[in-house]
Amino acid sequence: MFRKLFSILVSGVFLVSSLGTAAAEVPNTANGKLAAVEVVTYGQEQTGAIVERIKKVEKDYECTNTSGGMMNRINALYDAAFDNSSGPSLVTQLNALEWTIAHKVSADPIQKRISDMELQINGKNSDASIKKRIEDLATFAFGSTTIPLTQVNVPANTLVKIALVTPVNAKELKKGDVIKFRAAEDVIENDMLLITEGALGEGEITEVSQAKNFGRDAKIQIDFKDIEAVDGTKIDMTLGEEAKENMERLGMAAGASLASMIILGPIGIIGGAFVKGKNIDLPEGTEMYLQTAKDSTVYAIPTTSAEQF
């Protein structure tokens, strides 16, 4: 598959962005799928016979056990938790509820997220099924059991301000290392929340070399891949012209070139990025802009629904 790369050479660092994957990788085994459901629901994979594990999740989700083959039952649970193709998944619905009620989206398991919202609203937890508890929270937040999520198009070149979670240091990184970053602020277009502050993204180090003798600078090549939308969709990211121009327009470079800005940006403007000698050292919190690489479709949250809270 052709992967369009955009690259810039910057005072000892070589940053590359490319197209990532459009959706999270789906486990291809029964146990892998069930484990993914258990982790997102309880925080960890459960133990015991697989049939009993299936029954437990089915009971917690719907308070009833379903019939059919084991794989069909696991697929149904996985789709309920993650799949948005026929409607918002449980994870997407919870994202909408949390952001509307608390203006944040947690990475905690489903059970804890529901419990925390119930305690905040009612001062106690319900013993109903997860589905019923979500419906009750939706009724409180929106006046209906239906959460007002809307499928929208995220246009290519939508800007996303990000902050590094993983420090980028030429002395410590190697090819293949994963670089994590997060959204530094909510991404809202036309009153619709597309990406929440704190949403995680990942890139990969594709090349790294330390500074050497005879004036050869350190070099790091980063493949920025994707960031997670509010509905869990992986949105392809790139470091393109719009992102560069926006950083310069906002004065993040303090009058310097883009190269100097990324490496030598003033303290407090891009999180204190700096270079020791000619080695690269971008600390956690270093901020920059990326942009969406192509059009994507996601379930978005109307931001007007949060104004009452």
Whether 214 and 245 map to the same domain: the answer is: yes
Whether 166 and 296 map to the same domain: the answer is: yes
Whether 256 and 205 map to the same domain: the answer is: yes
Whether 129 and 208 map to the same domain: the answer is: no
- The encoded tokens of residue 231 equal 């509905």
Is the separation of the CB atoms in 289 and 272 below 8 Å?
Answer: no
Q: What is the C-alpha to C-alpha distance for residues 306 and 122, in angstroms, rounded to an integer? A: 18
Q: What is the mean pLDDT of each run of 10 residues along the chain (309 residues)?
A: 32 43 67 96 96 95 78 93 90 92 89 96 94 95 90 94 88 89 94 92 84 65 89 89 80 42 33 46 85 94 68
- The verdict on residue 307 lying in a domain is no
Q: 13 lies in which domain range?
A: 6-25+153-301
List all residues 6 or more positions away from 241 whose beta carbon is below 8 Å from its beta carbon: none
pLDDT at 249: 78
> Among the three residues 82, 106, 124, which one is the final residue of a domain in this structure?
82
Whether 19 and 162 map to the same domain: the answer is: yes
Whether 226 and 293 map to the same domain: the answer is: yes
Q: Is the pTM of this model over 0.85?
A: no
Q: Where are the alpha helices (DSSP H) in 123-159?
A: 130-142
Whether 228 and 114 map to the same domain: the answer is: no
SS3 124: coil
- The verdict on residue 19 lying in a domain is yes
Domains identified in the chain, total number: 3
Whether 71 and 220 map to the same domain: the answer is: no
Size of the chain, expressed as the number of residues it contains: 309
> 256-264 — which CB contacts under 8 Å span 24+ positions?
258/8, 258/10, 259/8, 259/9, 259/10, 259/11, 260/11, 262/10, 262/11, 262/13, 262/15, 262/288, 263/10, 263/11, 263/12, 263/13, 264/11
> Among the three residues 82, 99, 125, which one is the final residue of a domain in this structure?
82
- The verdict on residue 272 lying in a domain is yes
Rg for the chain, CA atoms, rounded: 22
- The verdict on residue 306 lying in a domain is no
Whether 159 and 208 map to the same domain: the answer is: yes
> Among the three residues 130, 149, 168, which one is the final residue of a domain in this structure?
149
Q: What is the C-alpha to C-alpha distance for residues 187 and 170, in angstroms, rounded to an integer? A: 31
- The verdict on residue 194 lying in a domain is yes
List, in sequence order, every beta strand (DSSP E) within 11-71.
13-17
Nearest to 84 by CA among 152, 130, 21, 34: 152
Would you give the DSSP letter of residue 303? G
Other beta carbons within 10 Å of 198? 17
Whether 157 and 296 map to the same domain: the answer is: yes
Whether 164 and 143 map to the same domain: the answer is: no
Whether 12 and 58 map to the same domain: the answer is: no
